[in-house]
Amino acid sequence: MSNEGKKVKVHYTGTLDDGTKFDSSVDRGEPIEFTCAAGQMIPGFDAAVKDMEQGETKTVHIPAAEAYGERREEMVQKVPVSQIPNGDQLPVGQTVYMRGPAGQSFPVFVEAIEDGIVTFDMNHELAGKDLNFEITLVEVAG
């Protein structure tokens, strides 16, 4: 029985191959709810949940291509500090939110500020990484 197109609630714990935990709905005490196979989750996660039964728990390994994609060097940008409001106050080593041309905000990682140039990395923080999830299907709603 496929869960495709159905609202599901799952508990999950996500780890990297070295065992580092990067996210867990279990730790937050609240399962996540999404429509299965509607593009709301990374492709490998959707695929894992699609054929699960309510109450089932499984562990899946999701390669980077089915997760947040490969890391792309063209997503690393260098911008003069003078072109950014309060650019000299950007927190190096942290993620900030910028506004795109249409007014939407998106996360960028402030990699460095050197010689008046800010280096931004706009790759997702998990890009290029294979992910592991332990997923429990808590509930399926029509």
pLDDT tens column, 121-135: 999 999 999 999 999
Beta strands in 63-104 (DSSP E): 76-80, 95-99
The string of pLDDT tens digits covering residues 18-32 is 999 999 999 999 999
> Which residues are paired to 8 by β-bridges?
34, 140
More confident residue, 100 or 2: 2
CATH 3.10.50.40 segments of the chain: 6-69+126-140
Q: What is the mean pLDDT of residues 86-109?
A: 89
> Which residues are paired to 139 by β-bridges?
9
**Angle, CA 91 vertex, CA 89 and CA 95 arms, to 5°:** 130
116 CA to centre of own chain: 30
CA dist 98 and 5 (Å) reads 33
Q: Which two tokens stand for residue 3?
A: 């869960």
Q: What is the DSSP letter of 28?
A: H
**121, amino acid identity:** D
CA dist 56 and 142 (Å) reads 17
Per-residue pLDDT at 98: 85
**Angle, CA 32 vertex, CA 16 and CA 127 arms, to 5°:** 30
pLDDT > 90? residue 99: no
Sign of CA dihedral 52, 134, 27, 110: negative
Task: State in words which class domain 6-69+126-140 has.
Answer: alpha beta
Q: What is the mean pLDDT of residues 80-109?
A: 89
CATH 2.40.10.330 segments of the chain: 73-121
Listed in sequence order, the DSSP H helices in the chain are 25-28, 43-50
Q: What is the mean pLDDT of residues 55-69?
A: 96
Domain 73-121 sits in CATH 2.40.10.330: yes
